[in-house]
């Protein structure tokens, strides 16, 4: 099954390089990759490469963040924005825009990233204590942080029209217009999140049994919960800073993965890293092609793509349970 996941990701990557406002035939893409294409086709394909790489990075980060959040909180409705990461990034972006005017895409990343991290870690610091009982407090802390920051965002955006124009473009979520500089900026944060996620796989399996049962097996539940939440914050912060708050990927993909491979996090983590990019790249391709030559931002498309996928996964889980 892992081979099928890798093949699906390879197909989505290839489709992302082929599809666009003007489709590029597969032989032309191959000639570009081998260095034997005319300059126009080369320019077109090369412009899609950073977008495709970013789609892989953001899709993997969001899917894995959602898997971790749902695993740590044992809440199937948890998503990467649970701890206020999206709201923190948005607050930082509108603050920077209000103070310094509209910034470049790379400049937005450098503001959104610390804002997302600060909000997520603040919610974690307030609500992370108390074992299973503390999970409710954690969710409430994230909701409070999100509510306060979004109220601030709305106040600034509505009172300053220029800020609102810049913010409303960012808040939809898009892979377009990003270069490798954006990828390089968020890659260390996402990489740290992936590493922490890998280290917590076994502990999350124990944690799924409940606090008392996990402790009885010798698992360090406090470390597992903390590492899992911090990893989720890092992954969500990096993805949001790079592409904006793209919805639904982090919520839908974990359900799909569990329907395919079961509840073992040692399987969920690698499959989330494959399934997330596939969903996001397919959504991006759909946004580029369904109403060509007009392009829909990927954040608009993910809800339409993710909703039926999630409904199918939920129905499959219900029929097999």
Give the pLDDT band (50/70/90) at residue 6.
Answer: very high
Residue 110's Cβ-count burial label (10 Å; 0-12, 13-18, 19+) is middle
pLDDT digits (tens, 9 = 90+) for 82-133: 889 999 999 999 998 888 887 788 888 889 999 999 998 888 888 766 555 5
Give the pLDDT band (50/70/90) at residue 134.
Answer: low
pLDDT digits (tens, 9 = 90+) for 253-269: 998 898 889 889 999 99
pLDDT at 200 over 80: yes
**Which alpha helices (DSSP H) does the chain contain, by range?**
2-18, 26-33, 39-73, 85-100, 105-127, 131-159, 161-172, 180-199, 201-207, 211-216, 221-243, 249-261, 265-289, 298-320
Give the pLDDT band (50/70/90) at residue 20.
Answer: confident
What's the whole-model pTM score? 0.90
pLDDT of residue 65: 95
Give the pLDDT band (50/70/90) at residue 284.
Answer: very high
> Cα–Cα distance between 26 and 36 in angstroms, integer?
13
Q: Which tokens in the block code for residue 10?
A: 């390879």
CATH number of the domain encompassing residue 273: 1.10.3470.10
Q: Which residue has the higher pLDDT, 150 or 313?
A: 150
Q: What's the domain range around 243?
A: 2-320
Task: Write down the mean pLDDT value for the chain.
Answer: 86
Residue 3's Cβ-count burial label (10 Å; 0-12, 13-18, 19+) is exposed
pLDDT at 315 over 80: no
pLDDT of residue 318: 56
pLDDT of residue 28: 79
Give the pLDDT band (50/70/90) at residue 53.
Answer: very high
CA–CA–CA angle 169, 172, 175 (5° rounding): 85
Structurally, the chain folds into a number of domains equal to 1
């Amino acid at each position: 099954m892992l081979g099928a996941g890798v093949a699906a990701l390879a197909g989505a990557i290839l489709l992302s390089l082929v599809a666009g406002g003007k489709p590029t035939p597969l032989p032309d893409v191959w000639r570009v990759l081998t260095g034997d294409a005319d300059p126009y086709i080369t320019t077109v394909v090369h412009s899609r490469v950073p977008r495709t790489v970013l789609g892989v990075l953001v899709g993997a980060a969001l899917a894995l963040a959602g898997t971790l959040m749902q695993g740590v909180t044992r809440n199937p409705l948890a998503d990467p924005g649970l701890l206020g990461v999206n709201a923190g990034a948005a607050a930082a972006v509108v603050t920077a825009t209000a103070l310094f005017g509209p910034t470049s895409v790379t400049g937005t990343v450098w503001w959104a990233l610390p804002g997302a991290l600060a909000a997520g870690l603040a919610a974690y610091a307030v609500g992370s204590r108390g074992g299973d009982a503390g999970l409710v407090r954690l969710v409430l802390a994230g909701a409070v942080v999100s509510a306060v920051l979004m109220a601030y965002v709305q106040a600034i955006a509505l009172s300053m029209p220029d800020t609102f124009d810049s913010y409303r473009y960012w808040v939809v979520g898009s892979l377009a217009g990003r270069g490798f500089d954006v990828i390089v900026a968020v890659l260390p944060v996402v990489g740290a999140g992936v590493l922490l996620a890998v280290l917590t796989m076994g502990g999350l399996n124990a944690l799924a049994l409940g606090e008392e049962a996990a402790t009885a097996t010798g698992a360090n539940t406090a470390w597992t919960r903390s590492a899992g939440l911090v990893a989720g914050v890092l992954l969500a912060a990096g993805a949001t800073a790079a592409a904006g708050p793209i919805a639904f990927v982090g919520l839908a993909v974990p359900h799909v993965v569990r329907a395919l491979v079961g509840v073992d996090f040692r399987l969920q983590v690698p499959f989330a890293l494959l399934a997330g990019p596939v969903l996001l790249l397919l959504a991006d391709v759909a946004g580029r092609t369904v109403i060509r030559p007009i392009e829909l931002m990927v954040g608009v498309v993910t809800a339409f793509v993710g909703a039926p996928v999630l409904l199918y996964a939920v129905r499959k889980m219900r029929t097999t349970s």
